Amino acid sequence: MDVGDDAADGGAVSLGRAVIAAAPSAAAYDPAVLSLTGWWRADGASGYDDSSGVWYGVASAGSSSGRNLTEATNFPSAGTAVNGHTPPDFDGSNDVLANATAISTMLTASAWFGWWLVNIDAIATSSGTSYSNDVIMNDSGAYWGIHLSSASGGLVYAYQWDGAEKAVSAAIGTGAWTLICARYDGTNLRLKVDSGTVQTVAAGNISTTTGTIQCGYNVATAYNGRMADIGLMASAGSDALFDDIKEYVNDRYSLSL
């Protein structure tokens, strides 16, 4: 997926026999220039407003404006700012945001790419592969999402239902900003945390794209922590986007993930 010019895409500069790779431009991977179907990011009153109960989906190349997350049960409070941007802070009890439009407007059954910049306060006791500590999920039928497990010192799962549950996990910690990236290309579900190794599981298409997206949803446990940035696109992209989005996140929030 080409989202910029050669320099922005990591083009190389030749000096005699030596070839030095140019540093990627974080601006080239800002969601504003990517073709996305929904994205949200912490940005004070313009992006997250706890007084009005809305986390606004900012307009992008994929026209995500209007795809806002709003209160489903209880609205998260304003969390401690990161590099001047104020994120929602989920309390681990009953804070849930939802989107009014169908999941089919955000992703397809056969292809999607997403990222979630989170700072986890705690992971409630859980060892299953879905339906607890959910960062994001579909509320009906599709059984798709990103969730946390307290097993093995802390795991994050990407999962989806293709007639049976398919899930892939990676280690994750608490108390620091962490970038979760996942993608599905019609054959494999792939997951990466920060600069870690990409984890893969074979999976078939999501069984249905009915229902809506919920953020912080839980059955027995709830997500506990801040979320600064969420993006979804209705195509698989490529593994290169894992690092491209990391460049954008590091630049915007002054991180070194």
pLDDT, position 19: 42
Q: Domain-by-domain residue ranges, the chain?
A: 26-253
pLDDT, position 2: 32
- Helix-strand-coil percent breakdown of the chain, rounded to 5? 10, 40, 50
pLDDT, position 41: 79
**Distance (Å, whole) CA 114 – CA 131:** 19
Q: What pairs with residue 113 in β-bridges? A: 183, 233
pLDDT, position 233: 84
**Distance (Å, whole) CA 189 – CA 71:** 30
Q: What pairs with residue 177 in β-bridges? A: 119
Rg of the Cα atoms in the chain: 18
Count of CB atoms situated within 10 Å of the CB of 11: 12
Q: Which of 73, 210, 234, 206 is nearest to 140 (CA)?
A: 210
Query: Following CA atoms 23, 25, 30, 33 in sequence, which dihedral angle do they give, to the nearest 10 degrees?
Result: -120
pLDDT, position 207: 82
Whole-prediction pTM: 0.86
Q: Which CATH number fits domain 26-253: 3.40.50.620, 2.60.120.200, 2.40.40.20, 3.30.1330.60?
A: 2.60.120.200
Q: Which of 77, 73, 95, 107 is nearest to 185 (CA)?
A: 107
**Distance (Å, whole) CA 85 – CA 79:** 9
Q: Which two tokens stand for residue 237?
A: 């992209």
Element (H, E) at 25: none
Express each pLDDT in 114-151 by its tens digit: 999 999 999 988 766 667 889 988 876 668 899 999 99
**Distance (Å, whole) CA 219 – CA 112:** 25
pLDDT, position 234: 84
Q: What is the pLDDT along the chain (257 residues), one digit of tens a residue?
A: 333 333 333 333 333 444 444 444 667 777 777 777 777 776 666 677 877 788 887 656 555 666 788 888 888 998 999 998 889 999 998 898 888 777 887 888 999 999 999 999 999 887 666 678 899 888 766 688 999 999 999 999 999 988 888 999 999 999 999 999 999 999 999 999 999 999 999 999 988 888 888 888 876 788 999 999 888 888 898 999 999 999 999 998 999 99
Express each pLDDT in 73-105 by its tens digit: 888 998 999 998 889 999 998 898 888 777 887
**Distance (Å, whole) CA 121 – CA 178:** 12
State which amino acid sits at residue 99: N
